[in-house]
Structure 1
Amino acid sequence: MMCTTLYDAANSFVHQHFVEVSVSEEFLSLRPEEILELVGCDELNIKAEEQVFEAVLAWVRHEREEREPRLPELLSKTRLPLCRPQFLADRVQQDELVRFCHKCRDLVDEAKDFHLMPERRPHLPAFKTRQRCCTSIAGLIYAVGGLNSAGDSLNVVEVFDPIGNCWERCQPMSTARSRVGVAVVNGLLYAIGGYDGQSRLSTVEVYNPETDTWTCVASMNMVVDGHIYVCGGYDGKSSLNSVECYSPEANRFCTFPMWTVMTEMSASRSAAGVTVFDGRIFVSGGHDGLQIFN
């Protein structure tokens, strides 16, 4: 029991501090089966998948002659489609270890196709586009917009630290929003739509917690595989069955339309609950203006 507890604690530490651990001598000395297991783990605490790629390359180069044949298998565990297109083009495919390996080049092409041809995304293995999430780290809770006691929509944003047990004010949104949809992708918080007290909103703005700033991005025309899905809602007249998908990377690089209309839901719903499980979106409850769903 003691050994199991110690093993779990060590794994948790490595997951939480992956970036720091990946530059240590102990990491570079891991056995091939250990590095494969680690790179394939969902629980790594990273800001971007690029950090996993760099860790893999460092491990291979540490004993290049012996480890280079392992690179294709390691890159197949790395979630290359989650890397930025510019990083794929300027860093990954230009690396000599990748350039001279046919299997590695195929994996890079697969990742580039993810960005260039969104219609092929459903054919990728689900794990390759699943964001990593270190559940052993206590996160922050953001309260975005809402209503005051007088019923006015707010642009106020506050953040709660569960460890410090305190609330702090953040930079307010540029637009007051109640009934706003919120999603998190790649460490950025998106405020989507809502009601400003006069009209229903299709605008979207994104918050960067590192700089405490809000930026407006493409308006609509929650998160799956690094994308934001807006399901249903209310346009001021009726409940909606529409579904739209937003790509943060497309907004940055403008490689294709940023909001994409998806297949409609079978029923119109506003005030519905939306969650993601195992790569699928589940929409539950809500109402269509005539009845409340269960």
Structure 2
Amino acid sequence: MAMSSSQTLALQRNSCEQNRFMEKLMTKICSFYDEQSLIDVTFKVSNPTALVPAHRLILAAASPYFENLFKGNQGTNPVIEIHDIDSDIFEHLITFCYTGEALITVNNVAAMLNAAIVLQLDDAITSSVDYLITHIDEYTLQAAYALERKTKCEVLRQKIIEYETQNFMETSRSDEFLNFDVEKLQRILVSDNLNITREEDAYDAIQRWYNYDVPARQEQLPLLIACLRLTQFNVDFLVTQIQPLPGCELLAFKALSWIREPTARPMINMRFTEPRGVSTTYCDEKTILALCSKVNPKLLQYNKTEDKWEEYASIKIDYGEYRTILKDGSLLFIGGYKGVATYNVVRSWNIRNKTWQNLPGMIQARRSHCVVELDDKIYAIGGCKGGVLSSVERYTISDGWIFVTSLIYGRYDAGAVTLNGKIFIMGGNNGKGQTITVECYNPDSNTWTSCANMTEYYFSGVAAHKGHIYVLSRRNKNRSVERYDPQLNTWSQICSLEVGPGLMTCVSLDNKLWAIGGKSKSADKSCVSVFDEENFCWVERCSLPESEMYNCFVVPEFLLSSM
């Protein structure tokens, strides 16, 4: 029997011969493209009309968009029409599929990014965004903001935040800065990597933003002052500059108490007590935090270096059916159920300080609902209270909880994720039984639309990963896994997981999909598996020592470091 390609690669992965072989192979493939030899598909592109020849195998390997296109109804056509992408941009991106390089300029970078998103070329998206940021002086930051709003590109959004953080002094002096909304400004000011020489620089920027429109921003001022490292100011500054600000008296009092009474510090609930920069070495490293059981749960952190799980903390909470979300370094416990009571409470548990804080309660009491974050807004979706709920409410710091458009179909015990600037909710129970229906929420139009149905009724884990949505089922002996393509609005099966019964969840960490939960067949533990996309199989990692796993979060490692 012939040796499989994966076995061959494993034997030769580190050899010079393998590198030379790959170089020779890619050179030959590129020469076929240049000479238009062995072409098996041609694209007819408009504006202006052009014919772009290519090889199906290469394009399918480079992009899930082309892979799904060629598997579809029109995939066998010798000529395929492409609309809404200019011919020169399309040809540049086809070349990128062969070479990993594209001619990006200030004039075409917006069109390149738009087209790369449509064609699901992740590396081309990254290249376009990197080019834009490194040429920001020519492209302008204002144009980058407009492009991010138009494309809702998460890679661009993160790069802009990094740019604003690293170039804060310049950004804070721009006219655009004066129109930042409070959520965006908070996101920048909380960063440990904020590039300032002294904490007063951040305070001065807040004052400039505040003075631009005092009446409208007076209530928002304390939210921004709370982002400062107040304990780094001296007592005189706190008394003369912070304390007189409207709504900031308590913040100043806490900081003064922290400085003057060291023995009382464990009882003072402060968000930041250390100077910026102490965690910059670790801020990019992320790991998994697992919430085990519902009532009085344990938190276990994953040690990637040693491939083992370690207990991080125990949380005192005497009710269940709440839903949790990670927000600004804290776990938010939203809603819940105990006895005959359904709760609307929202409580925040600071991961680093291990302290509780109460937040404004929801309008509607809920249990078994869904919670997601999108554009710094928290959404509570569906659930039940006596009957099945279809209502949806959204929380922002400035507006509190408000109702938005309800679900098409009420449901509880469903799964929800955010992807491409939208919310997807799927499965759950509609009051009559399990459902396979899927809905998508567009925050711009405040509307829900139906999507293609899942194939499995029972599921226990859902995650967004590399532009797709993955769902783990729990009905079969082996957990089937299906994947949703939002571009094509289709579901497809991938390889199953061989794990026992129990709750499961999945997360995306280090560009890999992790499935966590389900009982190990060899011991009373929860399984942990990572999807190997190259070999299309699941690889086991160190099991969780707890048998009941409720939820998992991807968190920055510095949040888990000792105080």
State whether TM-score is above 0.5.
yes
Q: Which residue of 2 aligns with 1:289?
A: 431
Do the aligned partners of 2:178 and 2:208 also contact (CA within 8 Å) in 1? no
CA distance in 2, matches of 1:43, 1:139: 15
5+ unaligned residues in a row in structure 1: which ranges? 16-28, 62-67, 100-104, 117-135, 148-152, 251-255
1:239-258 equivalence runs, <5 A: 239-247=388-396, 249-250=397-398, 256=399, 258=400
Do the aligned partners of 1:272 and 1:283 also contact (CA within 8 Å) in 2? yes
1:31 and 1:178, CA in 2 relative to 1: closer, same or farther beyond 3 A? closer
Deviations 1:70-109 (A, max 9, x none): x447x49977641149x7x96436449x98xxxxx6xx89
CA distance in 1, matches of 2:182, 2:360: 25
1:31-42 equivalence runs, <5 A: 32-33=137-138, 36=141, 41-42=156-157
Is 1:82 matched up with 2:184? yes
Larger Rg: 2
| Same amino acid, percent of matched pairs | 21
Q: Which residue of 2 aligns with 1:43?
A: 158
Is 1:141 matched up with 2:288? yes
Q: Which residue of 2 aligns with 1:231?
A: 381
Do the aligned partners of 2:164 and 2:171 also contact (CA within 8 Å) in 1? no
Q: In the alignment, which of 301, 318, 325 is matched to residue 183 of structure 1?
A: 325
Question: CA shift at 1:269, angstroms?
Answer: 0.3
CA distance in 2, matches of 1:265, 1:158: 34
Do the aligned partners of 2:322 and 2:333 also contact (CA within 8 Å) in 1? yes
Do the aligned partners of 1:186 and 1:226 also contact (CA within 8 Å) in 2? no
Deviations 1:159-200 (A, max 9, x none): 334344333334433423443312122232212123346643
Q: What is the SS of the residue equivalent to 1:266?
A: coil
CA distance in 2, matches of 1:163, 1:223: 30
CA distance in 2, matches of 1:181, 1:288: 18
What is the RMSD computed on CA atoms of the aligned residues? 4.7
Q: What is the SS of the residue equivalent to 2:407?
A: coil
Q: In the alignment, which of 144, 163, 167 is matched to residue 56 of structure 1?
A: 167
Is 1:92 matched up with 2:197? no
1:183-222 equivalence runs, <5 A: 183-196=325-338, 199-221=341-363, 222=372
CA distance in 1, matches of 2:378, 2:159: 21
Do the aligned partners of 2:383 and 2:413 also contact (CA within 8 Å) in 1? yes
Do the aligned partners of 1:232 and 1:242 also contact (CA within 8 Å) in 2? yes
Question: CA shift at 1:290, angstroms?
Answer: 0.2
1:138 and 1:56, CA in 2 relative to 1: closer, same or farther beyond 3 A? closer
CA distance in 1, matches of 2:323, 2:307: 25
1:60 and 1:288, CA in 2 relative to 1: closer, same or farther beyond 3 A? closer
One-letter amino acid matched to 1:293: T
1:163 and 1:42, CA in 2 relative to 1: closer, same or farther beyond 3 A? farther
1:30 and 1:280, CA in 2 relative to 1: closer, same or farther beyond 3 A? closer
5+ unaligned residues in a row in structure 2: which ranges? 1-22, 24-99, 102-122, 149-155, 190-201, 222-282, 364-371, 437-563
Question: CA shift at 1:154, angstroms?
Answer: 3.6
Do the aligned partners of 1:158 and 1:167 also contact (CA within 8 Å) in 2? yes
Question: CA shift at 1:33, angstroms?
Answer: 4.2
What is the TM-score normalised by the length of structure 1?
Answer: 0.55
One-letter amino acid matched to 1:139: K
Q: In the alignment, which of 299, 302, 314 is matched to residue 160 of structure 1?
A: 302
Question: CA shift at 1:224, angstroms?
Answer: 1.2
CA distance in 1, matches of 2:433, 2:381: 18
1:205 and 1:140, CA in 2 relative to 1: closer, same or farther beyond 3 A? farther
Q: Which residue of 2 aligns with 1:64?
A: none
CA distance in 1, matches of 2:140, 2:403: 40
One-letter amino acid matched to 1:230: A
1:31 and 1:144, CA in 2 relative to 1: closer, same or farther beyond 3 A? closer
One-letter amino acid matched to 1:239: V
One-letter amino acid matched to 1:278: N
1:193 and 1:80, CA in 2 relative to 1: closer, same or farther beyond 3 A? closer
Do the aligned partners of 2:183 and 2:376 also contact (CA within 8 Å) in 1? no
CA distance in 2, matches of 1:175, 1:82: 32
Q: What is the SS of the residue equivalent to 1:271?
A: coil
Do the aligned partners of 1:185 and 1:227 also contact (CA within 8 Å) in 2? no
Q: Which residue of 1 aligns with 2:412?
A: 270
CA distance in 2, matches of 1:77, 1:34: 20
CA distance in 2, matches of 1:60, 1:137: 22
Question: CA shift at 1:226, angstroms?
Answer: 0.8
What is the TM-score normalised by the length of structure 2?
Answer: 0.32
Question: CA shift at 1:259, angstroms?
Answer: 2.0
1:91 and 1:233, CA in 2 relative to 1: closer, same or farther beyond 3 A? farther
CA distance in 2, matches of 1:223, 1:60: 26
1:58 and 1:272, CA in 2 relative to 1: closer, same or farther beyond 3 A? same
Question: CA shift at 1:227, angstroms?
Answer: 1.5
Do the aligned partners of 1:156 and 1:173 also contact (CA within 8 Å) in 2? yes
One-letter amino acid matched to 1:223: E
CA distance in 2, matches of 1:263, 1:198: 28
Q: What is the SS of the residue equivalent to 1:176?
A: coil
One-letter amino acid matched to 2:387: S
Question: CA shift at 1:56, angstroms?
Answer: 2.9
Q: What is the SS of the residue equivalent to 1:42?
A: helix
Q: What is the SS of the residue equivalent to 1:203?
A: strand
Question: CA shift at 1:38, angstroms?
Answer: 9.5
Q: What is the SS of the residue equivalent to 2:430?
A: coil
